[in-house]
Every structure is written in structure tokens, then in C-alpha cells.
Amino acid sequence: MRAQTMVSVAVSACVALVACACGPDKAKEGTDARPSQSSASTRTKEPSATPSASARTEKPSVTPGSDQRMPRTKEAAIQRYEQYLHALGREDIDMVCEVAAPAAKKAQDQGFGPCTSTYAVVFQMISPAQKKALQTATVDPQRIVVRTPDKIEMPVEAVRSSATFSESDLGSYTLEYLKNNWYITD
């Protein structure tokens, strides 16, 4: 099932969903602090301790929040996926779980924990060098596959960064246009 692809991010050396079920829920207690992408007023339920908000200035048109309308374009899907990659590198649990919400819900329905617990494990499985590389990763538009105007495949080979990623440690994703924004669905 394609939902396994979303969870494959959790495993750097294991197969898709199997490894996520084995990780401890308390692997990273400090993952709830998140930096704001565009302003501190977006979500203020918790203080932004680390990293600095200046790390998120490269794409101001893509801001956190499900109410943000994004165009139904290949370029917007790429921006959204890059937003996810950067958040993954910063351990920004709120943003990661927002972008991956549909896929995380499928995994949870299959018996895996909530997104925040699953990604706390994921963050522990990504090396510091890979995290740093993800913070500035980009996507090669020529390597993605547009299935329909609402569905785009982001293969791991499309990710451009200073670190190397494989299917087993990052995986490929499907983004779909839902509720006026792009989300990882598989």
C-alpha cells in the first residue's frame, strides 16, 4: 500500500511501516517546539526555542496552516514538498504533521501511533548530516511525475541536497491537492 511510503521516512535502515511500530513514543520530548515560518502570530501555542525563525525565509509564499490557499500547480507542489523536507530537517513536528496529515492518518488507522509520536521516532533515525542537508534541500522539477493536475509523485531521486537519500531512509511521496493545498497522501 502506498501509505507505507509516508512511514518509510521513519526508517533509515528498515522497511516502511514495520520499523515505525517498533520505535518508542517518547524518543524526542522536545519536538513540540516549532519555529514560525512567516510570523510568530501564525501559531502561538508554544514558544519557538530552536532553531531560529530566520531559517525559514526562502519561500514566504508557502506558510503553515491548513487555511492557506496554494495554487494547483506543479511549482506549488514542489514548494510544499520542499517545505516538508525543510521542516523534517529542523524537526518541526507541527509542519511535518501538517503537510503529511493524510498519509499520517492512514498510518494511524493501520495501527501506528499519531503523527507526532511516529515522527518523533523519525527525527531520531535521521543523521545530523542528513538533517542539515534537508534544511536546504530542493526538488528537481524534471524528476517529478505529474499524474493528474491534482496528483504529483515526488521520487527520492528528485531531492537535491548535500546528503544522499535512498528509498529506505527518505522514500518517495505522492502529493495531492486537497482543500486548496498540497498534502502528502502516500
126 within a domain of the structure (yes/no): yes
Q: How far apart are CA 131 and CA 105, in angstroms?
A: 24
Q: Which residue segment(s) compose the domain that 168 sits in? A: 1-22+78-186
53 within a domain of the structure (yes/no): no
63 within a domain of the structure (yes/no): no
Tell me the per-residue pLDDT of 117-156, one tens digit each, with 9 for 90 and over: 999 999 999 999 999 999 999 999 999 999 999 999 999 9
- Return the minimum-mean-pLDDT range out of 41-55, 78-92, 97-111: 41-55
In order of 48, 78, 104, the CA distances from 81 in angstroms are: 22, 5, 15
Count the neighbouring beta carbons within 10 Å of the beta carbon of residue 178.
Answer: 13
90 within a domain of the structure (yes/no): yes
Q: How far apart are CA 80 and CA 62, in angstroms?
A: 7
Name the domain count of the chain.
1
- Quick one: pLDDT band at residue 27, thresholds 50, 70, 90? very low
98 within a domain of the structure (yes/no): yes
Which pLDDT does position 63 carry in this prediction?
Answer: 40
Question: Which residues are bridge partners to 177 per DSSP?
Answer: 182
69 within a domain of the structure (yes/no): no
18 within a domain of the structure (yes/no): yes
Average pLDDT over residues 83-106: 96
Which pLDDT does position 54 carry in this prediction?
Answer: 33
The average confidence (pLDDT) of the chain is 73
Which pLDDT does position 49 carry in this prediction?
Answer: 35
Average pLDDT over residues 163-175: 92
- 88 versus 52: which is more confidently predicted? 88
Nearest 5°: the CA angle 53, 59, 61 is 110
149 within a domain of the structure (yes/no): yes
Tell me the per-residue pLDDT of 46-68, one tens digit each, with 9 for 90 and over: 333 333 333 333 333 344 444 57
